[in-house]
Amino acid sequence: MSDTPRALLFDVDGTLVDSNYLHTVTWWQAFRQAGHDVPMAAIHRSIGMGSSLLVDSLLPDDRDKDRDSAVKASHTALYATYWSRLQPLEGAADLLRACKSRGLRVVLASSADEAEFTHLLRALNADDVIDASTFSGDVEHAKPAPDLVQVALEKAEVPPSQALFVGDTVWDVQAAGKAGVPCVAVLSGGIGRDELKAAGAVAVYDGPADLLSHLDTALNTLNAR
């Protein structure tokens, strides 16, 4: 039996903010600018990985890898044009507030860099209920490595058995699993229910609003383990 949940750790892109497809199209543009024709479907399925892993998984091995940094910089610049227009997913802020009202610690665990993360926080507009945050600059290895989840656990000041991670990609589920934290997944990032369950998600909901409607049930999944 697991302990009573004391903290919820949240991925942000695709989980709380509706940004996955913006990342997809701006990566597509960045690849095109560098002379690479990468299908958007393949890019979308890689969203949630760290940028270096994403580039390495999508581009051919015989490319000039010295140009990878330029591709990543292009994506950052293209995506930055959307920062002021980022929108939270329905129910995202209310979900965070509901967790806080239940006495849970709320920690955001984003793969974004600090500048991008500032705009994600602004879109969420829920600073008053967020106990701590971590982003890419805090870790050496990006998802699906467990580093980000482990740092979030440290900031939540709880053991893995007393936390739930909420994410939207198989990379989130894998990272949480490697850190020993069960993952509740949402479909709002565009990854299918069966794929998320196959990766190890303990439950899957349509999005933040659906998770909010079933929050007590989701929290009970921790006690049922």
Same domain, 58 and 13: no
> Which residue, of 81, 97, 124, is where some domain finishes?
81
Domain total in the chain: 2
Is residue 64 domain-resident? yes
Same domain, 156 and 96: yes
Domain limits for position 184? 7-18+87-223
Q: What is the pLDDT of residues 102-119, one digit of tens each?
A: 999 999 999 888 899 999
Q: Quick one: pLDDT band at residue 193, thresholds 50, 70, 90?
A: very high
Average pLDDT in the 11-35 region?
98
Is 11 catalytic? The answer is yes
Same domain, 112 and 212: yes
Query: Domain containing 35 — which CATH number?
Result: 1.10.150
Query: Domain containing 148 — which CATH number?
Result: 3.40.50.1000
Is residue 1 domain-resident? no
Q: Which of 11, 147, 168, 210 is catalytic?
A: 11
Is the pLDDT score of 224 beyond 80? no
Is residue 2 domain-resident? no
Same domain, 12 and 27: no
Same domain, 121 and 104: yes
Same domain, 27 and 13: no
For residues 110 and 43, is the Cβ–Cβ distance under 8 A?
no
Q: What is the pLDDT of residues 121-180, one digit of tens each?
A: 999 999 999 999 998 777 888 899 999 999 999 999 999 999 999 999 999 999 999 999
> Which residue, of 60, 81, 102, is where some domain finishes?
81
Same domain, 52 and 156: no
Same domain, 38 and 129: no
pLDDT of the residue at 1: 41
Q: Quick one: pLDDT band at residue 51, thresholds 50, 70, 90?
A: very high
